[in-house]
Structure 1
Amino acid sequence: MKKVIFILLTLFSILITSCSQTNESKAKKVIKEYFKETLDDYDSYSPVSSSEITMAKTKWELPKELEPELEKLAEIAEKINRSGFSNIDITSDADDIIKDLDKISEDSYKKTLDKNMIKKIENWKALWLEFKHYQDIIYASKNSFQPEFIGWKMTHKFRAKNRMGGKELNEIEFQFDKDITKVVKVRKVK
């Protein structure tokens, strides 16, 4: 009798487990529903592959209140480029360049430089310190950002006929809501 109960409980748990949907299967079902509404020829739809489903999280964006700092940073980068540096942008590493300018400013190098060059190096250092100031403000915001879970995402590759009747290979990244019941965002990969 114990064996019969054990076997029945085992079969029941297998049945329950097999009936519950995985996140991947939910996502694929939502994708099919999305394609029924959006593809030119749904009957030609043929799935090729899907990535694993992963969490979608918010991404850092520059807060509106830091836009003036970004503008100032861009202005200073332009001044630096006009002063003799080239290809400096707002992501350039100020720390390394400030260290290099400090080394050049040391007494051992100063003896070999003329007064104009010493003045130029001092001006560059002042610009780079100002650049670093605004860059640090922006990076502090970015580094303190805590991403939040906003749903799920999956990349799906498939073939389907286009409006002209030709079959195309497509790859799309889908973003779903937290419960994986609807498509929130679509981005074509290829």
Structure 2
Amino acid sequence: MKIKLITIFLVSVALASCTQSNEQKAQTLTKKYLDSTLNDAKSYEAVKFSKLDTLTESIDENSQYRNYEQVKDSLKTIADSLHNAILGAIVSSPSDTANLKHKADSIYSKQEKNLEDEKAFIEKFKGKPIGWVISHTYRAKNAMGAVVLSTNLFRFDQNLTKVTDVK
């Protein structure tokens, strides 16, 4: 019985040590990427990795936010048109002016409501995770053969299987 428990324990420890953490996966992908892109990969020397962080969508990429912006633009265009129409109607017909003013008031209240909703959305916004990001500082030879210190931001897909962007 003890032998079975010890065997199970050793097998589970061996399996656990074989799996890489997300941080290790990101560092491995970063090194592989640099190995294939540096001028002199043999001169590569890692200096520092930041902690791996979750990459989330920006608010500009969010469809609900874009909808608020489109509504805001549309309402502004309508309000500007009504404003110009009111200025023209003041001279020609007081009854048209009152009707246009009523429409303008309605548009202004819709604008105000949309802005309040958009502000509330922005304050609560937490982008959905779209990948991972890590900063890496390293030394390597450039095209002229001089060793330079570089820091880049590496972005990865959600499954940590590939580098998607480097800045």
Scaled by the length of structure 2, the TM-score of the pair is: 0.66
Q: Does 1:57 align with 2:56?
A: yes
Preserved contact between residue 68 and residue 118 of structure 2 (Cα < 8 Å): no
Q: Does 1:167 align with 2:147?
A: yes
Quote the offset at 1:24 in angstroms.
1.1
Q: Please list, as runs of the form range in 1=range in 2, the aligned pairs for 1:116-131 lying within 5 A after superposition.
A: none
Deviation by residue 1:117-147 (Cα, 9 ceiling, x = unmatched): xxxxxxxxxxxxxxxx596565345235441
Q: Please list, as runs of the form range in 1=range in 2, the aligned pairs for 1:96-107 lying within 5 A after superposition.
A: none
Give the secondary-structure state (helix, strand or coil) at the position aligned to 2:26: helix
Q: Please list, as runs of the form range in 1=range in 2, the aligned pairs for 1:12-51 lying within 5 A after superposition.
A: 12-51=11-50
Preserved contact between residue 56 and residue 128 of structure 2 (Cα < 8 Å): yes
Give the secondary-structure state (helix, strand or coil) at the position aligned to 1:63: helix
Partner of 1:128: none
Q: Which runs of 5+ in 2 are unaligned?
A: 77-111
Partner of 1:182: 162
Identity of aligned residues (%): 33
Partner of 2:69: 66
Quote the offset at 1:64 in angstroms.
7.2
Quote the offset at 1:65 in angstroms.
6.2
Quote the offset at 1:33 in angstroms.
1.6
CA RMSD of aligned residues (A): 2.8
Q: Which has the larger helix fraction?
A: 2
Partner of 2:129: 149
How far apart, in 1, do the equivalents of 2:72 and 2:141 lie? 49
Change (3 A) 1:169 1:67: farther
Quote the offset at 1:185 in angstroms.
1.6
Number of matched pairs = 129
How far apart, in 2, do the equivalents of 1:140 and 1:186 lie? 33
Quote the offset at 1:148 in angstroms.
0.9
Give the secondary-structure state (helix, strand or coil) at the position aligned to 2:47: strand
Which letter maps to 1:158? Y
How far apart, in 2, do the equivalents of 1:137 and 1:7 lie? 60
Q: Which runs of 5+ in 1 are unaligned?
A: 73-132
Give the secondary-structure state (helix, strand or coil) at the position aligned to 1:29: helix
